[in-house]
Amino acid sequence: MGLDYTRIAVISDIHGNLTALNAVLADIRARGIDRIFNLGDMDGKGPDGPEVIDRCRDTCSVNLFGNWDDLMTRPNAENPAMRWHQARLGKERMAWLRQLPTTYDFRLSGRHIRLFHASAQGIWNRVFPHNDHNILLGMFENTAFTGYDHPRPDIVGYGDIHHAFIMPFFTPKNKTLFNAGSVGNPLDEPRATYVILEGVWDDESWDSPFSIELVRLPYDVESVIQRARALNMPQTDALAIELRKAIYRGMQKPAS
Ligand SMILES: [Mn+2]
């Protein structure tokens, strides 16, 4: 009898980019992937936050809370650009975002896997792959944020930095940190990015095959920029450079 594999798409940081999300969902469907887990930051930056939130609600079996989901659902978003995005969401979507969980734990081919948006310390604590070894190890800690009543994870997946990577540790062995990258606002290369995990669901044996794969997908970047311009979305110029060149707005040359 063959093993019954489960394939999971881990998506993150869609940021209102419905065109990129649709490209990713079509790719997920074409591959016959079983489940979609979303690590948060559905809104802000791109023009179609409400549609992205509705799509995630319909298609993802896990939706986690990100730092932008926090920003967008505060009583009064902090600047006019954020208020533009917030005003389009409506109370019901904001209430749904607010009640999302912050972490999700499961087991695949023996590995205990934990997902969250940014770090084991919370949604506002940012961790980069070039950070100190101890900071990277901290991603595997049980904390007040992740809950203390779980086994320590063997694999941790997160989003937040919009840079994808897969990092099996040299020491300790059998720990892997990965970043799912960003579907709608990638800052490593200008293509919609997500991760596929494959293994045997809830299996206790490490001897079942297991894999992690990084997917890069082209999509119609220009149509997203056109749509943002048609809506007079604030900060569309900064978004356009991010989407075309994967250069973060904080690193772009200021307009003269
Ligand atoms: Mn983000």
Query: Using alpha carbons only, how large is the chain's radius of gyration in Å?
Result: 18
Q: What is the pLDDT of residues 70-83, one digit of tens each?
A: 999 998 878 999 99
Position 253 scores a pLDDT of: 80
What spacing in Å lies between the alpha carbon of 13 and ligand 1's midpoint? 5
The pLDDT confidence band at residue 254, using thresholds 50, 70 and 90, is low
CA 83 – CA 139 distance, rounded (Å):
32
Say yes or no to pLDDT of 1 above 90.
Answer: no
Position 78 scores a pLDDT of: 81
Closest by Cα among 7, 81, 31, 44 to 182: 44
CA 53 – CA 42 distance, rounded (Å):
6
Please provide the average confidence, as pLDDT, over all residues in the chain.
Answer: 96
Q: What is the pLDDT of residues 104-128, one digit of tens each?
A: 999 999 999 999 999 999 999 999 9
Position 76 scores a pLDDT of: 80
The pLDDT confidence band at residue 99, using thresholds 50, 70 and 90, is very high
Task: Compute the half-sphere exposure of residue 147: CA atoms within 13 Å on the CB side of its CA.
Answer: 12
C-alpha dihedral sign at 201, 204, 205, 206 = positive
What spacing in Å lies between the alpha carbon of 211 and ligand 1's midpoint? 25
In the chain, domain spans: 6-251
What spacing in Å lies between the alpha carbon of 200 and ligand 1's midpoint? 30
End-to-end CA distance of the chain: 67
CA 59 – CA 243 distance, rounded (Å):
24
Tokens representing residue 245 in the block: 């060149």
Average pLDDT over residues 218-227: 98
* Ramachandran category for residue 107: left, alpha or beta (phi over 0 → left; psi -120 to 50 → alpha): beta
Q: Domain 6-251 has what CATH class?
A: alpha beta
Element (H, E) at 186: none
Task: Compute the half-sphere exposure of residue 176: CA atoms within 13 Å on the CB side of its CA.
Answer: 18
What spacing in Å lies between the alpha carbon of 115 and ligand 1's midpoint? 15
What spacing in Å lies between the alpha carbon of 112 and ligand 1's midpoint? 25
The pLDDT confidence band at residue 3, using thresholds 50, 70 and 90, is confident
Q: What is the pLDDT of residues 41-59, one digit of tens each?
A: 999 999 999 999 999 999 9
3-class SS of residue 135? helix
Say yes or no to pLDDT of 236 above 90.
Answer: yes
Query: In whole angstroms, how far apart are CA 48 and each of 27, 29, 53, 67, 247?
Result: 20, 21, 9, 18, 21
CA 86 – CA 75 distance, rounded (Å):
10
CA 137 – CA 112 distance, rounded (Å):
15
What spacing in Å lies between the alpha carbon of 125 and ligand 1's midpoint? 12
Say yes or no to pLDDT of 185 above 60.
Answer: yes
**Could you tell me what percent of the chain has a pLDDT over 90?**
93
Q: What is the pLDDT of residues 21-39, one digit of tens each?
A: 999 999 999 999 999 999 9
Position 120 scores a pLDDT of: 98
Tokens representing residue 1 in the block: 């009898």
What spacing in Å lies between the alpha carbon of 173 and ligand 1's midpoint? 29
Q: What is the pLDDT of residues 159-182, one digit of tens each?
A: 999 999 999 999 999 999 999 999
What spacing in Å lies between the alpha carbon of 195 and ligand 1's midpoint? 16
What spacing in Å lies between the alpha carbon of 10 and ligand 1's midpoint? 14
What spacing in Å lies between the alpha carbon of 208 and ligand 1's midpoint? 33
